[in-house]
């Protein structure tokens, strides 16, 4: 079901002197969704969040909240609280006082402040720490205090700037579950900035991928993972093998490419003209392995095993073509047990034409 638009960026540009931090940006944030903005350092994701929060002013364009322009509104008038990477909790206040702080600034009476603060302390399962100093809390407990402090004002939208970056791996996973469940239960729109693919893809309804100040792709995690729109997105996600070449034939639902790894074919409705440059991506989970050359596949690449990495129930094999291109293949341990491999071994990787995906070069 399509949700109503809560925030819109219309032709938004941000410059710092001569540096173009955010190129012309047009996109919408839907009411009640969990939106993640991700990209490498310097891509413009935090600047985008800061413009929405009112900490930076757009150089051009308009930002609207519930249809109303907010460019001119100061931070404290926007009702767009932010959970910072550093959390920014007040060390001179205890847990309850930190949670009550925003309500106090809004002139809410003492009894009502206490009632609302205790509700969110209970909801975040930190009631027992209400009278503790911030310095006495663990990283995860501080995270919950920061969330309670932002949510106690019951905002329509909550901004989060890499709030899990300082936590250890196990605690990150637990807090991801807390955040996603919290967003679903409250219906508050979350806008979450991160450089972590695992965080964005595990929590978000939609993901915005940015590079060099521009949006490369917006879509659900599944859409972006399976069908990256540009070569940059495919490279950034790291889950696809990429083959570039020239189109030798196009039409009738398929495209043939001549690449450094040999002739390849993919099934697609796109029809790039013969002689044009094209790039094919294949997910590492779709690549198959054989000790002998498969007879019935149009996409076969001879490779050599150069490494392996085991993570949980899966393993990633690192392979190399004769031309020096690295190829990754992800398989379950049971599959690999049926095909014993060792470093330096020669074999073939292959895939079905329908498992390829054509991307833009940009």
Residue-level pLDDT at 237: 92
pLDDT of residue 97: 93
Output the pLDDT for position 78: 86
Write down the pTM of the prediction: 0.88
Domain residue spans of the chain? 5-226, 243-359
What pLDDT score does 102 carry? 87
Q: Crossing angle, helix 110-123 and helix 95-105, to 10 degrees?
A: 130
DSSP H or E stretch at residue 110 = helix 110-123
Q: What is the dihedral of CA 51, 53, 56, 57, to 10 degrees?
A: 60
Q: What is the pLDDT of residue 346?
A: 94
pLDDT tens digits in sequence order for the chain, 362 residues long: 457 999 999 999 999 999 999 999 999 999 999 999 999 889 999 999 999 999 999 999 999 999 999 999 998 888 898 888 777 888 999 999 999 998 998 899 999 999 999 999 999 889 999 999 998 998 888 888 988 999 998 899 999 998 888 778 888 888 899 899 999 999 999 999 998 899 999 999 999 999 999 999 999 999 999 999 999 999 999 899 999 999 999 988 899 999 999 999 999 888 889 999 999 999 999 999 999 999 878 899 999 999 998 877 788 999 999 999 999 999 988 888 788 788 999 999 999 999 999 987 65
Q: Which of 37, 51, 129 is nearest to 89 (CA)?
A: 129
Q: What is the CA radius of gyration of the chain?
A: 25
Backbone phi and psi for residue 141, each to the nearest 5 degrees, phi listed first = -65, -40
Indicate the Cα dihedral angle 192, 193, 197, 202, nearest 10°. Answer: -10
Taking CB atoms within 8 Å and a gap of at least 24, the contacts of 62-68 are: 62/10, 62/11, 62/12, 63/7, 63/8, 63/9, 63/10, 63/12, 64/7, 64/8, 64/10, 65/6, 65/7, 65/157, 66/6, 66/156, 67/5
The third-level CATH classification (topology) of the domain covering 243-359 is OB fold (Dihydrolipoamide Acetyltransferase, E2P) (2.40.50)
Kindly provide the residue ranges of all beta strands, DSSP E only, lying in the chain, ordered along the sequence: 5-16, 19-30, 34-38, 60-65, 68-69, 82-83, 157-161, 189-194, 206-211, 214-219, 240-251, 254-259, 262-267, 277-283, 288-290, 299-311, 314-320, 326-332, 346-351, 356-359
CA distances from 200 to 147, 154, 230, 284, 285 (A): 18, 23, 19, 20, 20
pLDDT of residue 83: 87
In CATH terms, the fold of domain 5-226 is Rossmann fold (3.40.50)
Per-residue pLDDT, 361: 65
According to DSSP, residue 53 is labeled H
């Amino acid at each position: 079901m399509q949700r109503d638009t809560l925030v819109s960026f219309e032709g938004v540009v941000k410059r710092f002197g001569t540096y173009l931090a955010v190129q012309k940006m047009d996109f919408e944030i839907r009411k009640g969704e969990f939106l993640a903005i991700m990209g490498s350092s310097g891509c413009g994701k935090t600047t985008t969040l800061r413009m929405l929060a009112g900490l930076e002013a757009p150089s051009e364009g308009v930002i609207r909240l519930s249809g109303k322009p907010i460019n001119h509104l100061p931070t404290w008038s926007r009702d767009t609280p932010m959970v910072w990477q550093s959390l920014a909790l007040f060390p001179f206040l205890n847990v309850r006082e930190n949670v009550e702080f925003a309500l106090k600034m809004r002139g809410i009476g003492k009894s009502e402040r206490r009632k609302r603060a205790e509700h969110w302390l209970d909801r975040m399962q930190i009631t027992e720490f209400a009278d503790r100093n911030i310095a006495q809390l663990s990283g995860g407990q501080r995270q919950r205090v920061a969330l309670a402090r932002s949510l106690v004002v019951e905002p329509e939208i909550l901004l989060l700037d890499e709030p899990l970056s300082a936590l250890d791996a196990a605690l990150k996973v637990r807090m991801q579950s807390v955040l996603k469940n919290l967003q679903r239960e409250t219906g508050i729109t979350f806008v979450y900035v991160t450089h972590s693919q695992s965080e964005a893809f595990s929590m978000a309804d939609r993901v915005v991928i940015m590079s060099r100040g521009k949006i490369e792709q917006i879509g659900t995690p599944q859409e972006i993972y399976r069908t990256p729109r540009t070569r940059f997105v495919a490279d950034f996600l790291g889950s696809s093998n990429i083959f570039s070449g020239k189109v030798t034939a196009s039409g009738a639902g398929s495209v043939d490419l001549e690449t450094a790894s040999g002739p390849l074919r993919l099934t697609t409705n796109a029809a790039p003209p013969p002689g044009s440059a094209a790039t094919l991506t294949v997910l590492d989970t779709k690549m198959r392995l054989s000790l002998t050359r498969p007879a019935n596949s149009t996409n076969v690449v001879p490779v050599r095993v150069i490494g392996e990495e085991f993570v949980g129930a899966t393993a990633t094999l690192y392979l190399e073509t004769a031309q020096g291109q690295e190829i990754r293949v992800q398989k379950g341990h049971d599959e690999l047990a049926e095909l014993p491999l060792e470093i330096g071994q020669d074999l073939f990787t292959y895939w079905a034409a329908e498992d390829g995906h054509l991307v833009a070069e940009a």
